[in-house]
Chains A and B, each alone.
Chain A
């Protein structure tokens, strides 16, 4: 685990609304089983911390759930959706598994990386884009595809990627939210 404590030196704290949301989720479980809220709490912390989990954010989650920090670190490092280092504003998560691969995923990923001038797990200098390659996202019949925030973008083509990147640059892309809808 490449732990980054905080990005800007300020400790992470949940916003009041999110803390309330986490506390409501903890109450769903039997007495003493609030740890079951951990995965969801980490998603919420990640969203409030610009898309990644600093040590400080994980410690805040531990304190909110009343568990030890190590219980949070070991979970955060196990699951691939948690980013343990800073990421761009838009994280483009491309599926590169079999069914997408035979429908041209590799080509579209290469195209995007070249266009943005970055490699896998890298972020553009303007801080806008990070490219991740992930395993099957359950969209195999609508390949190739990528996920950005809450949304799936399917049947990708180079033209669609061009338009999407333009829209991101223009600030038009909504990533959705982990907050209760």
Chain B
């Protein structure tokens, strides 16, 4: 049986209400932390757990917390990143919709650990109904004495509020999020200083993803060592995966890190394999920003090892033959999908979402979008393919925030693994628009005959 630390009770009737949540052990991590642990002891458990940020970057959470500056007389803040806009990712929505109190509980326990007396959840504007689900849960928590002054007689005070975005992917980047929370445009800040030193209103701030904060609950309840027993290497605990694309059972799954990709993709308990008997063509394992993997690198690494659902194994082979776990946005493509079209689609997304502050990103993303658009529409030249790769390389590493990299990586990876499909778009645009696309690395002649 796969252990579920976050979604174990998700199907319990009424778990979205305070009473049922509490009856199933809810708020016990707050009780334990406030009554039996010092804030530093909570941080210590999180360190021991090996928990890594679930928002995409995978940075160790305990370490991040220990960087938080604590100058006398200056407030500190915990901000929950519920912006969830990475294409392919819809796990935080599921968690907040189904078990809102789990996030509230995690926010209280984590805020206590960090010594924050005011905390915020920043949620994307399109999830407006979840804003109200959260505000209702927060009102219940105030009502039952889990929020407010002197929580359960511990002497600890905490206020928790929800802030709302208004449609901007860039506000998921933590410094853009802070700008937005301050009521401004979501322009990422130049780092350093990092939010841990100068964050919200220039005060020390920790920004964590919804799932990261929820994971603090089982870590405090069961202990960091217990959490670290699940998983492999530096990939501990469970992870929410949002599975989409041409599979039989799309949806949100909580897996134990370390499961094989093959099991996750093909087993009936999880994705259930490819839909309509089609063949697997490619996988984007961690949201639109991570490199795409061609079918022959999905279940096995280039060295021939089993590919696992871990940070390390998905990255095995580096950018040559690996990818990243990212946000866990698991997008599956079947043989009918056009890689050029998908790459164009993602480029359009990044061009649209670039905040426009730095020229390599602002100009580069639009340029890639234009070139990909003409390739996809049969008006491209052979030299466009190298041009694209070159533009992508010039964006990478030359921007204020990682959106530039996020826009460049998918383009570089698509060209690296599916170059023949890009060439096919130049050589035979007509055929390309009319036929099924076939698997990569099949000689073009055969692709046309089989189609």
- Number of residues from A at the complex interface, CB < 8 A: 45
Contacts of A142 in B (CB 8 A): 250
Name the residue of chain A whose CB is nearest to the CB of B181.
A36
Q: For the complex, is B246 an interface residue (Cβ under 8 Å from A)?
A: yes
Contact A136 B349 (CB under 8 A): yes
Which A residues between 46 and 77 are near B, CB-CB below 8 angstroms? 65, 67, 71, 74-75
Bound Cα distance from A28 to B167, whole angstroms: 23
Interface window among A3-11, A94-102, A118-126, A161-169 = A94-102
A139 nearest in chain B by CB position: B90
Total A-B residue contacts, Cβ distance less than 8 Å:
148
* In the complex, chain A residues whose CB is within 8 Å of the CB of B166: 39, 42-43, 79-82
A36 to B244, CA, bound (A): 35
- CB neighbours (8 Å) of B126 from chain A are 81, 134, 137-138, 147
CA distance A143 to B185 in the complex (A): 30
Q: Are B182 and A79 in contact (CB under 8 A)?
A: no
The answer, yes or no, to whether B67 is at the interface (CB within 8 Å) is no
Is B331 within 8 A of A136, CB to CB? no
Q: Which residues of A contact B164 (CB under 8 A)?
A: 39-40, 43
Nearest CB in chain A: distance from B127 CB, A:
7
**Is the Cβ of A101 less than 8 Å from the Cβ of B183?**
no
Contacts of A75 in B (CB 8 A): 183-185
Residue of B128, B135, B250, B284 ringed by the most chain A CB atoms within 10 A: B128
A82 to chain B: which residues have CB within 8 Å?
A: 166-167
Q: Which residue of the partner chain B has the closest CB to A75?
A: B185
Residues of B174-203 whose CB lies within 8 A of A: 180-186, 201
Chain B residues within an 8 Å CB radius of A137 = 126
Are B85 and A79 within 8 A (Cβ)? Answer: no
Contacts of B84 in A (CB 8 A): 138
* Closest CB in chain A relative to B348 CB, distance in Å: 9
B318 to chain A, nearest CB (A): 24
For the complex of A and B, list the 7 residue pairs with the smallest distance between their C-beta atoms, beginning with the closest. Answer: A79-B166, A141-B250, A35-B183, A38-B183, A80-B167, A81-B167, A140-B244
